[in-house]
Chains A and B, each alone.
Chain A
Amino acid sequence: MKKRQVVALTLGMAMMATCIPAIAAEDEVVTLTYFNSDGKEEDPWTNPVATALTEATGVKIELQYPVTSDAESIALMIADDEYPDMIFAKGNAGSLYDAGAFIDMEPLIDEYAPNIKEFYGEEYNKLRWSAEDTGIYQLSYYEIGNSALETSGTCQIQYAALKENDWVYPTTLEEYEALIKKYLEAHPTTEDGQEMIGISLSAADWHWYITLSNPAGFIADAHPDNGQWFVDEEYNCMYKHTTENEKEYYRWLNRMYNEGILDPNWSTQTHEDYIAKISSGRVVAIMDAAWDYAEAETVLLADGKMEQTYAALPVTLSADQQCASLQYQGMGVGWGVGITKDCEDPVAAIKFLDYLCTDEGQVLINWGIEGTHYFYDEDGNRYRTEEEILASQTDPDYNKNTGIGYYVGNGWPRYSNGVLDATGQPVTRSTKESLIAEYNDIEKEAVAAWGVESLADIFPQASDFEIMPYSAIWAYQYPTELSDTIAILDEIAWPALINMVNGAPEDFDAAWDAMQEEFKDNGLEDANAGMTEFIAGKIAQNTASAE
């Protein structure tokens, strides 16, 4: 009996002991785990911006990031049925939604987060998952009010080639080809004796979407980035590797391959090989996206090969097409941060996100701390000191150490370039003026020769296009059945397109037809119909929300 009492007493004391710190911790900092699919390193959450975020919200973020690939990490989370408090899942959000991992944020937003509603404004209703399930599971982060200041165009060529061509830039594939050939003829080798390569691409891993598949849509169909889809004027969707224009584009690539302009190793080289090639300045032309080859340009600039960096070009298949690189596709829907069912304090999470959606929060993550990182002049204009700008350009750890910009690209709600806050000041650090001021010599030479202000001015402007009633298709999370069919089509297209380009010109038509047949046998019609219906649903949702 006595023994039992002692046990009970000890247990009771132990329980009380655990209660005390819990009560005491009530107004202290809440730690939330956050899985960022784009995360690459530990974040100790000690930089000034992070500290300020915690001060303002009482939330500390513990970052988790994928070790191998984000898809794998998320597949494992689903398999374990255990989730961090918040997730930025990129393209894997659909399976998390299917697994019931996300909670509907709408009741929380209604109660605790007025700023989130204001932040998304008219586009708030676009956040709803679908017509059947109107819950809000993710907060978009992409293209929230964009006046595109920069673009990498549909394809790129070294500045040196343009310079030798008296800065006449190509706008059609034909002119592009001629310019590459002309430059290759004049410069068969680089200055240090390496053989020059006409065009190189990276297609041995997922980068085939970026350098092989995307440019086909941009150049051949003059389409904005809709992933693997071509949308006609009546919003009928077609799997894009079926259009006649694309056929011509791949025929052109096939000819380039057989003429030796296209790198003979383009389809087998690893992405690292590709980046290494570009970094050496050997490759005259590429068809890529700026974020993908930025790494190589850093090396080129460091080596003083400024002329070997790439100019963005508005090239299309024929002269009557209008390059859609700057077309504003509306807010991206489908990629964003969500709160999971395992989050013990969703209120803290939503309040944290709510703070990010205030002007104060946006300025904090973009500019840092007032009085330390930025100042206001007499007219109320936000500015940074010369030293600060220099530090941000030369110190590779600047973002990490100060936190400035560090939390901009990690999936949380953020304004795109060109948005002004309540005081009329730009929210992001990049403005047209700041970009122009930061041009290097060759870029300055280019804009001077073209008689324009910024490099993006040679493109048809965003105002030339109407804004589509649907968002960029690549970011949408499709229903599982549809995405399964699309995955099969992609699986067919990838090797087929490569083999087609690498084949003999006389076999091209047969190879193209064989690929089309294979598409048809594996659900092309279903995918087209399914996507058309999906987009129609989204358009209905978006137009309803605009009213």
Chain B
Amino acid sequence: MAAKKQKEVHVKQKFSLQLMWKQRYLLLMSVPFLIWLIIFKYIPLWGWTMAFQEVKPATFSLPFFEREFVGFDNFITAFNDRLFDQTMINTIGISFLGIVLGTLSSIVFAVLLNELTFIRFKKITQTVSYLPHFVSWVIIASIAKNFFNDGGVIDTMFNKSFKLMSTNSPQIWLVIVLIDIWKEMGWNAIIYLSAIAGIDTGLYEAAKVDGANRFQRIWHITLPGIKPTAVVLTIMSIGSVLSVGMERQMLLSVPVVQEHTMVLSWFSYERGIGRNNYGLGTAIGMFQSLVGVVLLLIANKFASLIGESKLI
């Protein structure tokens, strides 16, 4: 008991040079990671300066100060692009749909797995379900196209033309999100499964004694038990709302539905690399990151409002 008290005192200790000296070995151990962070995460941010310059093949190899500074012109060009508005709508729509359905499905799947009593079957199911996570989108997309494309397996099976992947409407968001869920659900469920494993089994036993049935136990013990995990994961995913993976969108899209599959990362690639206008591409990418940070902060605030632990 006495030892514990001492520990608490340490935690509350204010930051000071003395403290740093005391914890010098700990600090030393973190240095390599700091260096890693600076080299790989902060130094590349220097590239953001391209967003304020005109950078095309003709000027790309020039030294930094010889390129023309254009202020916010690249941003203005991006916001006025004919595709920009629809791209924003698509990005937000598809990623919220993804977060909601993705989180729900992973939780449901984790809970269902957890309720299985036949251990070997549970393990096999779990392994099989997360295998697609390791398969590249190129392969997933060609399998998906085999099934959902016009004249594909589904159409043939029901002998009807569903136009699943060729209806030019937000319906394609749902199709893409469902394919994504199929790929990622098992993988995402792993975290929830481990959260469930961390719940005190005593609670279940007590509930059993009190006469709670299976559904009541899930509802009153399992779900509240994984709520903090769910909140943290959701906050994290909201931070990356705008960074919907480009390859998934490109591979699952056909020109007919491109209006509804274009997302910011693809747009940035298309305008930046595709049109050889690196400054413009950088501006779009930068915008995407900034909005991501803002959304993350909002979600974090919201989490603390509803009484969950904050992430940052």
Q: Could you list which residues of chain A lie within 8 angstroms of chain B, going by C-beta atoms?
A: 71-72, 75, 78-79, 81, 95-96, 98-100, 203-204, 208, 264-265, 267-270, 480, 484, 487-488, 492, 494-495, 498-499, 502, 518, 521-522
Contact = CB atoms under 8 A, between A and B. Distances in A.
A98 B258 contact: no
B56 interface: yes
Contact of A495 (B57, B58, B259): B259
Given A268-B166, A488-B82, A100 B61 contact: yes
A268 B254 CA distance: 6
26 contacts: A78-B276, A79-B60, A98-B56, A98-B58, A99-B58, A100-B58, A203-B255, A204-B254, A208-B255, A264-B161, A265-B149, A267-B255, A267-B256, A268-B149, A269-B149, A269-B150, A484-B277, A487-B275, A488-B82, A492-B82, A495-B168, A495-B255, A495-B256, A499-B168, A518-B82, A521-B82
Contact of B57 (A78, A487, A494, A522): A78
A269 B259 CA distance: 18
A494 B270 CA distance: 15
B226 interface: no
Contact-size category for B: 20 to 34
Contacts of B258: 495
B256 A75 contact: no
Nearest to A78: B57
B256 A268 contact: yes
B151 interface: yes
A81 B150 contact: no
A98 B277 CA distance: 12
B86 to A, nearest CB: 12
Given A204-B255, A268-B166, A75 B151 contact: no
B108 interface: no
Interface string B270-282: 0001111110000
Interface in B77-102: 82
Interface string B41-78: 00000000000000011101100000000000000000
B61 A99 contact: yes
A502 B257 CA distance: 12
A78 B60 contact: yes
Interface of B: 56-58, 60-61, 82, 145, 149-151, 161, 165-166, 168, 254-256, 258-259, 273-278
A498 B258 CA distance: 11
Contacts of B165: 268
A498 B56 contact: no
B150 A95 contact: no
B60 A502 contact: no
A266 to B, nearest CB: 9
A135 to B, nearest CB: 15
A95 B57 contact: yes
Contacts of A499: 168, 256
A265 B151 contact: yes
Contacts of A208: 255
Contacts of A96: 57
A81 B256 CA distance: 37
Given A71-B274, A267-B254, A268-B254, 9 more contacts: A95-B276, A96-B57, A99-B57, A204-B255, A484-B277, A488-B82, A498-B255, A521-B82, A522-B82
Contacts of B82: 488, 492, 518, 521-522
B166 A267 contact: yes
Contacts of A78: 57, 60-61, 276
A-B pairs, 4 with minimum CB distance: A99-B57, A98-B58, A265-B150, A265-B151
A204 B275 CA distance: 20
A498 B256 CA distance: 7
Nearest to A204: B254
Q: Which of B61, B168, B259 has the most CB of A within 10 A?
A: B61
A98 B56 CA distance: 8
Contacts of B151: 264-265, 269
A498 B161 CA distance: 18
Contacts of B166: 267-268
A498 B61 CA distance: 40
B263 to A, nearest CB: 16
Contacts of A480: 56, 58, 276
B83 to A, nearest CB: 8
Contacts of A268: 149-150, 165-166, 254, 256
Nearest to B273: A75
Nearest to A272: B142
A267 B254 CA distance: 8
Nearest to A270: B145
Contacts of B273: 72, 75
Contact of A98 (B57, B149, B278): B57
Nearest to A502: B256
Contacts of A99: 57-58, 60-61
A301 B169 CA distance: 42
Nearest to A487: B275
B67 to A, nearest CB: 13
Contacts of B56: 98, 480
A22 B274 CA distance: 42
B281 to A, nearest CB: 11
Contacts of A494: 255
Q: Which of B57, B150, B165 has the most CB of A within 10 A?
A: B57
A260 to B, nearest CB: 11
Contacts of A203: 255
A487 B273 CA distance: 13
A265 B166 CA distance: 9
B175 to A, nearest CB: 12
A519 to B, nearest CB: 11
Q: Which of B168, B256, B273, B277 has the most CB of A within 10 A?
A: B256
A518 B256 CA distance: 16
A203 B168 CA distance: 16
A502 B255 CA distance: 12
A75 B254 CA distance: 24
